[in-house]
Amino acid sequence: MSLPLHPDAESEMNRATLRYASDDPAVAVEFAEKLDAAFDAILSSPRMYPIAEDAPDGYEVRHLLLHRFPYRVLYYATDNRIVVLAVAHTSRRPGYWIDRLTEAT
pLDDT at 103: 82
4-47: per-residue pLDDT in tens? 999 999 999 999 999 999 999 999 999 999 999 999 999 999 99
Q: Please, which contacts does 40-49 make with residues 24 or more away whose CB atoms are closer than 8 Å?
A: 42/3, 42/73, 42/75, 42/82, 42/84, 43/1, 43/3, 43/82, 46/75, 46/77, 46/82, 47/77
Residue 88 resides in a domain: yes
> What is the model's pTM?
0.93
- Domain tally, the chain: 1
Mean pLDDT for 48-55 is 95
- CATH code at position 85: 3.30.2310.20
Indicate whether 1 belongs to any domain: no
pLDDT at position 102 = 87
